[in-house]
Amino acid sequence: DTEVTQTPKHLVMGMTNKKSLKCEQHMGHRAMYWYKQKAKKPPELMFVYSYEKLSINESVPSRFSPECPNSSLLNLHLHALQPEDSALYLCASSQGAQPKVAYEQYFGPGTRLTVT
Protein backbone atom coordinates (compact mmCIF):
# COMPACT_ATOMS: atom_id res chain seq x y z
CA ASP A 1 0.00 0.00 0.00
CA THR A 2 1.67 3.19 -1.19
CA GLU A 3 -1.29 5.46 -0.83
CA VAL A 4 -2.12 8.49 1.25
CA THR A 5 -5.88 8.95 1.55
CA GLN A 6 -7.75 12.11 2.46
CA THR A 7 -11.36 12.74 3.38
CA PRO A 8 -13.52 14.46 2.49
CA LYS A 9 -12.67 15.14 -1.14
CA HIS A 10 -14.67 18.37 -1.12
CA LEU A 11 -15.86 20.51 1.79
CA VAL A 12 -17.95 23.65 1.88
CA MET A 13 -18.21 25.38 5.23
CA GLY A 14 -19.41 28.65 6.64
CA MET A 15 -17.21 31.00 8.63
CA THR A 16 -18.81 29.93 11.91
CA ASN A 17 -18.57 26.19 11.30
CA LYS A 18 -16.19 23.68 12.82
CA LYS A 19 -15.00 20.89 10.56
CA SER A 20 -12.10 18.45 10.32
CA LEU A 21 -9.98 17.12 7.48
CA LYS A 22 -8.61 13.62 7.77
CA CYS A 23 -5.53 11.95 6.34
CA GLU A 24 -4.43 8.34 6.60
CA GLN A 25 -1.44 6.31 5.46
CA HIS A 26 -0.48 2.68 6.07
CA MET A 27 3.07 2.75 4.76
CA GLY A 28 4.63 2.86 8.22
CA HIS A 29 5.76 6.42 7.61
CA ARG A 30 6.74 8.36 10.72
CA ALA A 31 6.50 11.89 9.32
CA MET A 32 3.26 13.52 8.14
CA TYR A 33 2.62 16.94 6.69
CA TRP A 34 -0.15 19.42 5.93
CA TYR A 35 0.18 21.75 2.96
CA LYS A 36 -2.11 24.45 1.59
CA GLN A 37 -2.29 25.03 -2.16
CA LYS A 38 -4.06 27.93 -3.82
CA ALA A 39 -5.01 27.74 -7.49
CA LYS A 40 -2.03 27.86 -9.87
CA LYS A 41 0.39 28.13 -6.95
CA PRO A 42 2.82 25.65 -5.39
CA PRO A 43 1.99 23.84 -2.14
CA GLU A 44 2.91 25.77 1.01
CA LEU A 45 3.93 23.88 4.11
CA MET A 46 1.71 24.35 7.17
CA PHE A 47 2.65 21.68 9.71
CA VAL A 48 5.04 18.77 10.12
CA TYR A 49 4.58 15.88 12.53
CA SER A 50 7.47 13.59 13.29
CA TYR A 51 6.83 10.49 15.37
CA GLU A 52 3.39 11.91 16.24
CA LYS A 53 4.85 15.12 17.65
CA LEU A 54 4.46 18.53 16.04
CA SER A 55 7.91 19.50 14.83
CA ILE A 56 7.18 22.41 12.49
CA ASN A 57 4.40 25.01 12.53
CA GLU A 58 4.92 27.52 9.73
CA SER A 59 3.24 30.38 11.63
CA VAL A 60 -0.20 29.08 10.75
CA PRO A 61 -3.19 30.94 12.30
CA SER A 62 -4.75 29.23 15.29
CA ARG A 63 -8.01 28.69 13.40
CA PHE A 64 -6.14 25.70 11.92
CA SER A 65 -5.40 23.07 14.56
CA PRO A 66 -3.51 19.89 13.63
CA GLU A 67 -3.73 16.63 15.48
CA CYS A 68 -1.86 13.34 15.08
CA PRO A 69 -3.76 10.66 17.05
CA ASN A 70 -1.42 7.88 15.95
CA SER A 71 1.30 7.20 13.42
CA SER A 72 -1.19 6.48 10.61
CA LEU A 73 -3.61 9.35 11.08
CA LEU A 74 -3.39 13.10 10.76
CA ASN A 75 -6.26 15.51 11.26
CA LEU A 76 -6.66 19.21 10.60
CA HIS A 77 -9.37 20.86 12.67
CA LEU A 78 -10.90 23.98 11.20
CA HIS A 79 -12.75 26.69 13.10
CA ALA A 80 -13.84 30.21 12.22
CA LEU A 81 -12.17 30.16 8.83
CA GLN A 82 -12.15 33.06 6.39
CA PRO A 83 -13.03 32.98 2.68
CA GLU A 84 -9.34 33.45 1.85
CA ASP A 85 -8.68 30.09 3.49
CA SER A 86 -10.41 28.41 0.55
CA ALA A 87 -7.80 26.18 -1.07
CA LEU A 88 -6.71 22.61 -1.71
CA TYR A 89 -5.39 21.09 1.52
CA LEU A 90 -2.83 18.39 0.90
CA CYS A 91 -1.55 15.77 3.28
CA ALA A 92 1.78 14.05 2.71
CA SER A 93 3.85 11.43 4.48
CA SER A 94 7.46 10.30 4.37
CA GLN A 95 9.47 7.55 5.94
CA GLY A 96 11.04 10.06 8.32
CA ALA A 97 12.74 7.32 10.29
CA GLN A 98 15.83 9.35 11.09
CA PRO A 99 16.04 13.05 11.85
CA LYS A 100 18.16 15.20 9.55
CA VAL A 101 17.79 12.65 6.73
CA ALA A 102 15.81 13.45 3.59
CA TYR A 103 13.07 11.11 2.42
CA GLU A 104 10.63 11.53 -0.45
CA GLN A 105 7.19 12.75 0.50
CA TYR A 106 4.08 11.10 -0.89
CA PHE A 107 0.97 13.21 -1.27
CA GLY A 108 -2.70 12.46 -0.96
CA PRO A 109 -5.28 13.75 -3.45
CA GLY A 110 -6.22 16.69 -1.25
CA THR A 111 -9.41 18.16 0.16
CA ARG A 112 -10.88 21.01 -1.85
CA LEU A 113 -12.13 23.47 0.82
CA THR A 114 -14.49 26.33 0.12
CA VAL A 115 -15.28 28.79 2.90
CA THR A 116 -18.46 30.80 2.35
Partner 1 sequence: GESVGLHLPTLSVQEGDNSIINCAYSNSASDYFIWYKQESGKGPQFIIDIRSNMDKRQGQRVTVLLNKTVKHLSLQIAATQPGDSAVYFCAEGDRDSGYALNFGKGTSLLVTP
Stretch that binds partner 1, among 11-19, 67-75, 78-86, 103-111 (CB under 8 A): 103-111
95 binds partner 1 (CB under 8 A): no
Nearest CB to partner 1, comparing residues 80 and 109:
109
Calculate ∠ Cα 85-5-59, nearest 5°: 35
Contact 111, 9 (CB under 8 A): yes
Minimum gap (Å) between residue 74 Cβ and partner 1: 14
Q: What is the footprint of partner 1 within residues 10-69 (CB under 8 A)?
A: 33, 40-45, 48, 50, 55-56, 58
Binding site for partner 1 (CB under 8 A): 4, 6, 33, 40-45, 48, 50, 55-56, 58, 90, 92, 99-110
